[in-house]
Amino acid sequence: MSGRLHHLDALRALTMVLILPAHALAIVGLRGGWNDTESALYWTIHVFRLPLFFLVAGFFAALLIEARGVSALLRNRAIRIGVPLLVGVVAVVPLITLEVQALSEQPHRPQVEGIGAFADLHPSFLWFLWYLTLIYAAALLVRRLLAASPKVRLWLLTAGRRLLALPAAPLLLAVPTALLLYRQPTWLAAAPSESFAPQFDLLGYYAIFFAAGWTLFAAPELRAKIELHPRRYLRQAAIALPLALALYLLQKDPALGANRGVHLLALGLLSVATWTLVFGLLGVAHRFGARPNPTLRYWTDAAYWIYLSHFPVMAAIALAIAALPMPEGLRLAVLSIATLAVIFPAYGAFVRHTAIGRVLHGPRSRTPQLVPGLPLTRPAAAAEPRA
């Protein structure tokens, strides 16, 4: 991978690893809900995490097509996404269902008991892979249709470039994304994890970020312009984010939660905060992560494994410490750190240089260097593009 793209891969890894505190919060919430601090942390993580993931996914999809063609994209994504999704839904999700039932006073899915969980297949925390698959299919279909209309294709690309280049781009992009979230019961994009039937408004919501990433690949000068001015976007985020968070924490107030005007205002502020944080993080990552870094490379390789494997381990740890009296903040820390302490070493020992690692990220070289503080080898550079 070109050194100037390492920061984008690091951002994608960040979106994966942040699932640890997010799901630790979800598990703690099963014990009786959240306080305002926990709600604020969960909300803040989800304001930018998945939009950023889909934007980077769109960028790397366009990169892979440009470098290797559509057939390579299909083959790559069938292995990298299709196989983990299938294995996860069949083997991991039923186990999680049983664990969550044991953790919750009210069963997570009342109609499922014991072995019946294995007949109740749903995407669970892997829903984003399913939505990404659908967006890939839609993007390839649109690309094929536009190939027959070069003028329309040029107009769309030019319009996208001009829109993203505007200083007010986050404000303008917030309009369609806020409207697509209108049916969400809370002022945050819900995780459609209980069914493979897509929610088309949420699918469209994430498709906009995917399309933005695709456009940034097609216009490298535009990406450079955004990445060189992170302060502009972070200043806007510093205004929109606290206001949107305040409304999120106050949504249970009947005078606010039932007011359609407040609902639109909250979603508008949420969307502005999302776009400004996503653009701002592109710039921050470019500034601090563009140079090749073997340790960061190792973590970015491990991030997908961390995401896929964390939930059963975290739920098992939660069950083991459920009866222990401790502050909930400490419980959150224990769940996140203990889970990482189990699955991160497992990546180096059982995943990185095995068939599992080849499925998740392709082959990696065995370089006799050590990740600081851990008895794990790391490569001096990536063995293949992380697209």
Could you report the per-residue pLDDT of 283-296, keeping only the tens digit for each? 999 888 777 788 88
Asked if 115 and 175 sit in the same domain, the reply is: yes
Asked if 47 and 152 sit in the same domain, the reply is: yes
State how far the Cα of 147 lies from the Cα of 309, in Å rounded to an integer. Answer: 40
pLDDT recorded at residue 111: 41
Look over the chain and give the mean of its residue pLDDT values, rounded to a whole number. 86
Please say if the pLDDT value at position 372 is more than 70. no
Least confident of 102-116, 124-138, 159-173, 305-319: 102-116
Q: Provide the token pair at 303.
A: 């991030």
Asked if 41 and 150 sit in the same domain, the reply is: yes
pLDDT recorded at residue 17: 95
Neighbours of 204 (CB within 10 A): 16
Element at 265 (helix H, strand E): helix 260-289
Asked if 94 and 107 sit in the same domain, the reply is: yes
Asked if 334 and 272 sit in the same domain, the reply is: no
pLDDT band at 4 (very low <50, low <70, confident <90, very high): low
Does residue 22 belong to any structural domain of this protein? no
Could you report the per-residue pLDDT of 327-366, keeping only the tens digit for each? 888 999 999 999 999 999 999 999 999 999 999 998 887 7
Identify the domain boundary among 239, 258, 289: 289
Question: Residue 378: beta bridge partners?
Answer: 368, 369
Asked if 254 and 342 sit in the same domain, the reply is: no
Does residue 29 belong to any structural domain of this protein? no
Asked if 111 and 238 sit in the same domain, the reply is: yes
Mean pLDDT for 72-99 is 90
pLDDT recorded at residue 97: 81
Asked if 47 and 159 sit in the same domain, the reply is: yes
Does residue 221 belong to any structural domain of this protein? yes
pLDDT band at 105 (very low <50, low <70, confident <90, very high): low
Residue spans of alpha helices (H) in 148-229? 150-165, 169-180, 200-218, 220-227
pLDDT recorded at residue 238: 96
329 Cβ neighbours under 8 A, 6+ residues apart: none
Does residue 12 belong to any structural domain of this protein? no
Q: 194: domain range?
A: 34-289
How far from the centroid of its chain's Cα atoms is residue 334's Cα? 23
Does residue 285 belong to any structural domain of this protein? yes
Identify the domain boundary among 252, 270, 289: 289
Identify the domain boundary among 289, 323, 357: 289
Asked if 76 and 167 sit in the same domain, the reply is: yes
The beta-strand segments (E) located in the chain are: 369-370, 377-378
Asked if 179 and 285 sit in the same domain, the reply is: yes
Nearest CA to 383 out of 368, 369, 367 is that of 367
pLDDT recorded at residue 108: 40
Total domains, the chain: 2
pLDDT recorded at residue 29: 85
Least confident of 10-14, 201-205, 313-317, 371-375: 371-375
Please say if the pLDDT value at position 176 is more than 70. yes
Does residue 150 belong to any structural domain of this protein? yes
Asked if 162 and 267 sit in the same domain, the reply is: yes
pTM: 0.88
pLDDT recorded at residue 143: 92
pLDDT band at 312 (very low <50, low <70, confident <90, very high): very high
How far from the centroid of its chain's Cα atoms is residue 160's Cα? 23
Asked if 197 and 237 sit in the same domain, the reply is: yes
How far from the centroid of its chain's Cα atoms is residue 356's Cα? 21
Does residue 13 belong to any structural domain of this protein? no
More confident residue, 111 or 245: 245
Does residue 25 belong to any structural domain of this protein? no
